[in-house]
Amino acid sequence: MDLQLRGLRAAVTGASKGIGAAIAEALAAEGANLVLVSRSPVDGAELAARHGVEVSTVVADLSTLEGRREVERTVGSLDILVNNAGAIPPGSLQDVGEDAWRESWDLKLYGYVFLTQSLYSKLAASSHGVVLNIIGVASEDLPPGYIAGAVGNSALVAFTKTLAKAAWQDGVRVVGINPGPTATDRHERLQRARAAETLGDADRWRELDSALPFGRACSPSEIADSAAFLVSPRSSYTSGTVLTIDGGA
């Protein structure tokens, strides 16, 4: 299936690794030109050469106004925004201090909201404006041991659905994905910590994954393939939808 993305321009945040890198790969494979945004430098030359697309990069901290302004100055015209940057620390209410709440929300929650705000006029000027928010299944599971993430992700689901109710009037679609456990470096770090605590051996972390649906975590490419479809003209009447990908858990 041709997703009709060739020649469209997409900005992907948190593009240096994990789900963000996989989404960038999937969009480039479909012919989309990319702006890769990350707090650390990303080499987009190999991706550009492999898929014959234009790839530019922006080093920016999206938790700051200046970082978001740098993206706005650099990005030019824009058809697709993929908000993906940010990770919220685990812990209960008593475990996570005020600074950790604020710092993680500044990047993931407020970073998504305010970057979308700053780039919205560019998306509205496109004939194919789409915002895709990569959120997280904690917005549904509401685990008390991940309270900052559960609350922050729930807010992003509300942001996605609320914005979508008005954005269609500007020709902009707004969608989201709630990934379940996904095989990223961060997932391994968290599972190692959990295995050390519950099994007494961090190296046994794969045993925890075996209890997941289908005996494994989701792969980043499985999230990315769904992302590419959702932002494509093939999904042009989908808006206000948050897709859960957790193997049925």
Minimal CA–CA distance to 14: which of 128, 135, 188, 122? 135
pLDDT(199) > 80: no
Tokens 């530019």, residue? 56
Domain boundaries, the chain: 9-181+219-244, 183-217
Spatial CA neighbour of 171 closest among 233, 224, 228, 113: 233
Q: End-to-end distance of the chain based on CA atoms, in angstroms?
A: 29
Query: In this structure, how many other beta carbons lie within 10 angstroms of the beta carbon of residue 189?
Result: 12
pLDDT digits (tens, 9 = 90+) for 105-151: 999 999 999 999 999 999 999 989 999 999 999 999 999 989 999 99
Burial 165-179 (b: 16+ CB within 10 A, else e): eebeeeebbbbbbbb
What pLDDT score does 203 carry? 81
pLDDT value at position 127? 86
Confidence of residue 101 (pLDDT cuts 50, 70, 90): very high
pLDDT at residue 202, rounded to an integer: 78
CATH topology for the 9-181+219-244 domain: Rossmann fold (3.40.50)
Predicted pLDDT at 201: 75
Q: What percent of the chain has pLDDT over 90?
A: 81
Residue-wise pLDDT tens digits, 44-78: 999 999 999 999 999 999 999 999 999 999 999 99
Bridge-based pairing state of the strands 242-245 and 172-179: parallel
